[in-house]
Chains A and B, each alone.
Chain A
Amino acid sequence: MTNALMPIYVLATSLIAALVIFTLPERFHKVRTTFNLSAAVLKIVLVGVMAVGIANQLDYEFRYELLPGIDFILRADALSMLFAALSSVLWLCTTLYAIGYLEDAPNRSRFFGFFSLCVASTMGISLAGNLFTFLIFFELLTLSTYPLVVHRGTEKSLTAGRTYLRYTLGGGAILLIGVALMYGLVDQTGTITDFAQTGSMAELPAEQHVLLFVLFFVLIIGLGVKAALVPLHGWLPIAMVAPAPVSALLHAVAVVKAGAFGIVRVIYDIYEIEFAWQLGVLLPLAIWASITIIWGSLMALRQHEVKKRLAYSTVSQVSYIALGACLFGPIGTIGGIVHLLHQGIMKVTLFFCAGNYAETLGIHKISELDGAGRRMPLTSIAFTLGAFGMIGVPPLAGFISKWYLGIGALDAGMGWVIGVLIASSMLNAAYFLPILYRLWFKPVQGPWPDEHILAGRFETIGLLLWPTVATAVFSVAAGLFAAHMFSPLSWASLITYREYLP
């Protein structure tokens, strides 16, 4: 029976951690930290065990019938393991980082509680075995991230929180409508909306195709709010008022990725790629994603704050995943799926760096970064690696994604996607290279805006520095060892082959 309980255990590690942290009084910070970190490590171990099992064709499924036709299903498949691995590893990194970042700040109990709850929701999203279960955790994610966005409690963050709620609850409502219609009109037995390929949409009568076409875009709009598809992205740059670890988590794994992951699920496990292709929904979505990619990059060029620029860069980069999912053919799919992970580790690195500059030197604006490379070399190297990765310079992770997306696009007969990729790389270079220039080549202009961590043995405190270095190393390793059998790329290939060659 362990097989059925494994998904529950994985989910429970963060859920119980959240509950315990909520009940612990504020001053017990040692107990809280120990508990939080051991839960994070335990989860990584459990996910690792499950991943090995999945590779060996074991099934992990927990099923509970709520209503006839509507089950609550937690199931681990190869795709969910990719997202689960990303979220569990980054949970550990961001928690360590957050401990350093929020040292002696008030309300840490509340913060870490919701932080764990947020990770529990992403875990639920990754393990959800059907559309209904997915929806539950998708909404839970919205609710658990709101307290993190408004954590500082300032006027500005409360306004941002309201905008955030307006967007995500709106998106959630649309998704709910889509899911309800899906269950009501298309799939009364719950076989099609099950992510395991039990029923096939292709067998439905042709009269329903128009309905399916419309439903597809209802679902995508619902998911697109979180995935920040233009023009549904408005909340993302505003939510930048949140503390750096929250932004990092939001952008790398939690909210934005949940949307992108949902899009992948809808295309591959509900509609199924071949039917989606015949239905003609992929091309419009690919064009939509391409517009988002270019538009996000153009907006990033105009930003003067480090975090804002990174936020628009996320808008652009996350749509690569949707774009890859729309490329009919295994190689494009690999590109999209692997970017889910690659973008996560690169973006989390960049946000950690932005947080380090802000916490250590008080730097928020790009113009204040002049000469920071010499003062904070390791952080700046990590930033450089992340930025080059985003541009798609080899051997970093971003290059691998772009390479597969490009070849996949050509295989799918959508050569114009190459143009989008190149244009976006150029724009990425245009907004990242000036930052690197300031970091490494410009002299320091007077004192730092607000230096409150002095350079000791290292440039800043260890809890801020080492998670940053670790994720930077991950983003180099993901590209450098891409052909290795334990790389994200190999795992993405495994997912894809199971999808295309059942």
Chain B
Amino acid sequence: MSLLMYLVHTTPIPLLVLFPLLLALCVRADTARRRGWMLIIAPLPMLLGVLFWYCYGQPETFTEVPWLMLGLHWRFDTVLTPILLMSTVLWFAAGLYVWYSLRSGTGADEPHIGRYLRCWLLTLTGNLGLLVAADIASFYTLFALMTFAAYGLVIHDQTKRALFAGKIYIIMAVLGEGLLFSGLIWGAAQAAGGALTPVAPLIHELPLAIANSDYGMYIALLLFLGFGVKAGLAGLHWWLPLAHPVAPTPASAVLSGAMIKAGLVGWLLTLPLGGDLESAANMELVPTIAVLLGLIGAYGAAVLGVFSKKAKTVLAYSSVSQMGMITMMVGTGWLYPHAWPAILAAVIAFAVHHGLNKGLLFFGVGWLKALHGRARWVVLVLLLIPALNLIGVPFTSGEYAKDLFKDVISGLPVGLFYALFTYGALATTALMIRYFYLQRRP
């Protein structure tokens, strides 16, 4: 027992993060088809690490390597670990899916398996790593790694549509990186405050620095939009309904379930949210934009989604819609700093709930394609569970997450907004009906 305790305390977090990266170096084109298991074991160390960390009462765990990059600082963040856990589980499940399809021979005729595995492992490294990175430089590194490596997943099929989606994806991604870089550098300059010691500040110093800065509003806007590209913010979401349907099914699952949350995590880490940042009130404009874009995303994506002809496109639009709801929540919390702690809990719960259920629905598309007869019907019925979860009918995870938020805003002077948020469920319902309609027969 104490040995485990010891391991939990001393295992450097970078090892957990870099394990998939090492695996990626071992992939060879000629044997890749037999290396599907790599995708299963890649997220395992992190999964075990997080589970043990929970078992031992969430001790303060961090690794500091001052000479690496601009001073490396990685930690388990109590707020973000639920998302980390969800992401690891999802990557693990998606890895199983890939392993099975490689083993059973479906997709055995696909070329570029080696490249696929490599890109998969690199994206995985980035996605899990950015959830534990606490210094700006390594956070941005892992974010960029995830973004660029995911290109290989999007265009894997190399059909015309996939290549087009890849092009839009990479253009939007580069734009997003540019916005992000300017926001981060501006924020970091404020946090450093002209100090001579040239180290990158830790990411949790950014919110305060931004709140206290004269240009705080612009920095916050840059960061909000930069991460918004990844989070599928309305207006910056164009790549999402293109890229998610063309990627292989397990890749779409992690794209939509886990990677889309990286944008949200970026918001949570860098934006001046929370009660002790009262000066943040001078930038009401940005959170107002956030709420509005969230509303547009939540309803607009549903309208576009119900007219699309592919189940995966419907799910991609549903992701935009759900992320719109999350954006609304973040924006509300930003406007009412004293309510932020409660809203943060709701946001995290919502993110975890959406990630897992959306992942399942994406897997469902693949399963339904492979099955016939009665088995197909059984799966179809079982898929009702994640769908109802997403809609948020009583006694589901969706209801739990939404109620957390509604409890908070029922005490705030938000007027019509309460109803607007509640009726977001209608948009989800419409999308889910469309999803099942499109899959009703093989």
Q: Which of B180-230 contact A (CB under 8 A)?
A: 181-182, 185-186, 188-190, 192, 194, 196, 198-200
The reply to whether the CB of B140 lies closer than 8 angstroms to some CB of chain A is yes
Contact B178 A480 (CB under 8 A): no
Residue of A nearest to B158 (CB): A441
B174 in the interface (beta carbon within 8 A): yes
Complex interface residues of chain B between 369 and 386 (CB less than 8 A to chain A):
none
Among A403-454, those with CB < 8 Å from B are 403-404, 406-407, 410-411, 415, 418-419, 421-422, 425-426, 429-430, 433, 440-441
Query: In the complex, are the beta carbons of A433 and B174 less than 8 A apart?
Result: yes
Given contacts A392-B181, A418-B185, contact A403 B70 (CB under 8 A): yes
Interchain CB contact under 8 A, A418 and B70: no
A36 to B398 alpha-carbon distance, docked (Å): 72
Least CB distance, B252 to chain A, in whole angstroms: 19
For the complex, is A330 an interface residue (Cβ under 8 Å from B)?
Answer: yes
A407-B188, A484-B67 known; A422 vs B182 contact (CB < 8 Å): yes
B137 near A331 (CB under 8 angstroms)?
A: no
Nearest Cβ on chain B to A445's Cβ, whole angstroms: 15
CB distance from B169 to the nearest CB of A (A): 12
CB pair A331–B198 under 8 Å, yes or no, is yes
Of all chain B residues, the one with the shortest Cβ separation from A374 is: B29
Residues in chain A near residue B199, CB distance under 8 A: 483
Number of interface residues of A (CB under 8 A): 41
Q: Is the CB of B185 within 8 A of A485?
A: no
Contact of A406 among B29, B67, B185, B194 (CB under 8 A): B185
A394 within 8 A of B: yes
B113-167 interface (Cβ within 8 A of A): 115, 137-138, 140-141, 144, 148, 152, 155, 158
| Interface of chain B: mostly helix, strand, loop or mixed | helix
Q: Which residues of A contact B141 (CB under 8 A)?
A: 393-395, 399
Interchain CB contact under 8 A, B69 and A411: no
B residues near A402, Cβ cutoff 8 Å: 181, 185
Interface string of B29-58 (1 = CB under 8 A from A): 100000000000000000000000000000
Which listed residue (A374, A400, A406, A426) contacts B70, Cβ 8 A?
Answer: A400
Does A493 sit at the interface, judged by CB under 8 A? yes
Q: Which residues of B contact A485 (CB under 8 A)?
A: 67
Residue B438 lies at the interface, judged by CB distance under 8 Å to chain A: no
A483 near B185 (CB under 8 angstroms)?
A: no
A441–B152 alpha-carbon span in the complex (Å): 8
List residues of chain A with CB under 8 Å of any chain B CB. Answer: 329-331, 334, 374, 388, 392-395, 399-400, 402-404, 406-407, 410-411, 415, 418-419, 421-422, 425-426, 429-430, 433, 440-441, 479-485, 489, 493, 497
List chain B positions with a Cβ less than 8 A from chain A: 29, 66-71, 115, 137-138, 140-141, 144, 148, 152, 155, 158, 170, 174-175, 177-178, 181-182, 185-186, 188-190, 192, 194, 196, 198-200
5 pairs of A and B residues whose beta carbons are closest in the complex: A406-B185, A394-B141, A410-B189, A484-B67, A407-B189
A-B contact pairs, 19 of them (CB 8 A): A388-B148, A392-B181, A394-B138, A395-B138, A400-B70, A402-B185, A403-B200, A406-B185, A407-B185, A407-B189, A411-B189, A425-B178, A480-B68, A481-B68, A483-B69, A483-B70, A483-B199, A484-B67, A485-B67
